[in-house]
Structure 1
Amino acid sequence: MIVARNKKAFFDYEILEQLEAGISLFGSEVKALRKARVNLKDSFVKIIKAEAFLFGMHISYLDTTNPYYKPNEKRDRKLLLHKKQIDKLFGQVSLQGLSIVPLKIYFNHKNKAKVEIALVKGKNLHDKRESIKKKILDKEALASFKNYYKG
């Protein structure tokens, strides 16, 4: 069950490699995720001291949360990855100047919260224009197919 997608990442970046990671959350944050109270828009992954952290992900707390315990909504959250995966990502980020961003957050078949992160390269302005043109052409083609099969 997909909870949230980072649509801006698909537009701003060229995705090179995707990877699934677990995420360390508090109980109230998991409940908020189930209600889709999450925003991945300006979030990114940074590797600090051989550990991966997710910065900028906003999980708003629920109204039913204990009033004495209001977690920080934009706190950095630790990603659960194998050491080899972290080393590989760190090497590619440091040598090639790439970035790591989350693409989507979801619950897997075992009901565990997972984040799909991707190794990305920034797009130029002309690449963004091409993706907009492609999107418009796809919409027009889909509309013409609908009209063709209706009539």
Structure 2
Amino acid sequence: MLKLSKKSVSTLTIFSLYCINLVIFTNPVMAGEAILDRNCRYYVRTPENLKKVPPQNRATVYFTSGFNTGKQKYFLQVLKFPNSTSVFCLVNPHTKTNQKINKIQLIQDKKIEKIENFPDKPASYIVRAEGDKKENLFRVIYQLNLSNPYDPKLSPLVKIYNKSYIKTAK
């Protein structure tokens, strides 16, 4: 029988472990969070998807909150993009779907300063958004009601106008 020295055995062992690690870790999946786009779609972080979704359209999760309505659990997820604008998404864990909430265009793709649960209303949120310069609004605070998640209601609670607009309106 062939006698191998200790050095040969250890070299062969190290080489085989190296080959196994090379096979395992050369998968093109990259570490990090999944990629989210402006339509609330998730992409696995691969080199192909990094090329497919440009950096300005990649979001990070800014806010997530669960709520129950109609005996079902949903999640409101707010995504923030590199230009500080936000997109509101509805996540249904039962159907495993994410979708952009299209019926609230007043706050979609705006700069959201703060979002929090509305007191004593489980499917309602207070959203503080940067105002619209075209309307001379400095800041607007809305109530977002998701008691019917597929027909959300958005109501302005407070509108703060720019100081220059108030002087010229007199």
Structure (1 or 2) with the greater strand fraction = 2
TM-score under structure 1 length normalisation: 0.27
TM-score under structure 2 length normalisation: 0.25
Higher relative contact order, structure no. (Cα contacts within 8 Å, ≥ 6 residues apart): 1
